[in-house]
Amino acid sequence: MDDEDMSCTSGEDYGGYGDEDYYNEADVDAADDVAVTPTHSEEADYECLSVNQVERVFIDGVNSLVSRIQINEKYARILLEANQWDADKIVTGYRKDRTEFMRKSHIESKPEPKRTLSATTSMLKGYCSVCAMDGYPTLPHLSCGHCFCEHCWRGHIESRLSEGVAARIECMESECEVYAPSEFVLLLLKSLPALKVKYERFLLRDMVNSHPQLKFCVGNDCEVIIRSTEPKPKRVTCQCCHTSFCVKCGADYHAPTSCETIRQWMTKCADDSETANYISAHTKDCPQCHSCIEKAGGCNHIQCTRCKHHFCWMCFGDWKSHGSEYYECSRYKENPSVAAEANHVKARRALEKYLHYFERFENHSKSLKMEEELRDKIRKKIDDKVNEHNGTWIDWQYLHKSVSLLTKCRYTLQYTYPFAYYLGAGPRKNLFEYQQAQLEKEVEELAWAVERAEVTARGALEAHMHRAEHKRQVLLHDFFF
């Protein structure tokens, strides 16, 4: 694929869920046609670049820095990578204290004590302190002056590459933090093509990751690199593999939740979900001291090991009076006060809070998958009606737009739960939960109407769509944009 073919700019808002056929064309303005016109776009301004185009971005950055301060190009690239490609920061630090700044950027070494006569003599003889061999005619070295043989340098580079390090391969001398320029490494790997290719691939990854405007597409086997100056965690969609993700963190698009919050949430889900499910299913709290108790046998007569209280596992009643109350134990009672007392334990409350948000987050995730099947059914239904000459493709597109909008609204609703979980109590949370409830109500009403689209009047369905998208836009305006 040519560079010209690869380069592209962001388009309209596709909602993160689209088909690669003509149905995608109708999705573009689905929200705008029937609902409200967003005051802000969820789609970031971006462009898709090839590897060659990204390399030109790096070269332009290096040339720009070289024109502002007197520095070699190979060191300019190290400076930019070490300082997140912030040229102004580099120029300021360089002019303020050149020596100290170059040390902090790992280009120059710290002052060392004068070498002894024996050490100087060994260096003159071509001595490598790693393999303890001498007689080498030349010894490669970095700006720090520490010399080692080519064989040891190659071994060191291969070792660092196995650890995933490329841009920050340091000198082998103990406590020396000078980085090796790419030109130095590539020269040493000239006779090792496989290792050279691996180094170039890892170096590109490190350079892209250090650049605040660049992000690899997260699609499988996709080599596109996204460039964006967007400060907010908005959505980008790769124009080659059509994968949508957050432009800031590379995770699934997660508005209104921030990148840091969604990272915490996903980590917590991975760590706590199985534990929480087990605790919820297999443990209860002592009704007297609120200790968490796991039932180890079949008998429902439980004695708390902490406070020695005897109680019934099923109804939490005092075992002393339980003999005459089996009827009460087996009968369902709404809001049993004894059982409610167990919820006062702090750990249990925290668990219940987590499960409350986690279950709803997961439920909407499952609903999205089922509604993808609904999308396919509606698409087939539209095709059948058009083939039977029962209206045109345009006549029935409102059905497809309805399920597309439902997907978009439910997707936003799903990510409101991590946001609410970490949002502190107060007026702001009260407002958020109110708007969240309003959106949930409209989403479920829209889902009900979409599932019964054939018996729902078009005007009524579009009214549901308008209200749902309006609630979604209001929530995003207040808590994301």
pLDDT digits (tens, 9 = 90+) for 440-456: 888 888 888 888 877 77
Q: What is the largest CA-CA distance in the chain?
A: 99
Higher-scoring residue by pLDDT: 148, 291: 148
In a domain, 124, yes or no: yes
Whether 74 and 181 map to the same domain: the answer is: yes
Instruction: Determine the Cα–Cα distance for residues 268 and 262; give it in Å rounded to an integer.
Output: 10
In a domain, 262, yes or no: no
The SS3 of residue 447 is: helix
Its domain, for residue 300, covers 286-333
Whether 292 and 364 map to the same domain: the answer is: no
Whether 475 and 422 map to the same domain: the answer is: yes
Whether 298 and 372 map to the same domain: the answer is: no
Question: Residue 120 has what pLDDT?
Answer: 44
Last residue of a domain, one of 168, 196, 214: 214
Instruction: Check: CB of residue 210 under 8 Å from CB of residue 81.
Output: yes
- DSSP one-letter string for 253-268: --TTS-HHHHHHHHHH
In a domain, 265, yes or no: no
Whether 291 and 375 map to the same domain: the answer is: no
In a domain, 11, yes or no: no
Last residue of a domain, one of 171, 188, 214: 214
Whether 309 and 415 map to the same domain: the answer is: no
What is the average per-residue pLDDT within 98-111? Answer: 87
Beta strand pairing call for 214-216 and 225-228: antiparallel
Instruction: Determine the Cα–Cα distance for residues 364 and 366; give it in Å rounded to an integer.
Output: 5
In a domain, 234, yes or no: no
Closest by Cα among 77, 75, 71, 102 to 211:
77
Instruction: Check: CB of residue 14 under 8 Å from CB of residue 27.
Output: yes
Question: Residue 339 has what pLDDT?
Answer: 45
In a domain, 219, yes or no: no
- DSSP one-letter string for 291-327: -EEE--SS-SEEE-TTT--EEETTT--BGGGGGG-HH
Whether 325 and 387 map to the same domain: the answer is: no
What is the average per-residue pLDDT within 121-146? Answer: 78
Last residue of a domain, one of 150, 179, 214: 214
Question: Residue 449 has what pLDDT?
Answer: 84
The SS3 of residue 212 is: coil
The single-letter code of the amino acid at 481 is F
In a domain, 393, yes or no: yes
Q: Which residues are catalytic?
A: 299
Question: Residue 202 has what pLDDT?
Answer: 94
Q: Residue 469 is part of a domain; what is its CATH number? A: 1.20.120.1750
Name the band, by pLDDT with cuts 50, 70 and 90, for residue 30. very low
What is the average per-residue pLDDT within 398-403? Answer: 84
b/e map 6-35, b = 16+ CB within 10 Å:
beeebeebbbbbbbeeebeebbbebbeebb
Question: Residue 20 has what pLDDT?
Answer: 33
Count of structural domains, the chain: 3
In a domain, 279, yes or no: no
Question: Residue 77 has what pLDDT?
Answer: 92
Return the bridge partners of 133, or none: 128
Higher-scoring residue by pLDDT: 20, 73: 73
Instruction: Check: CB of residue 17 under 8 Å from CB of residue 373.
Output: no
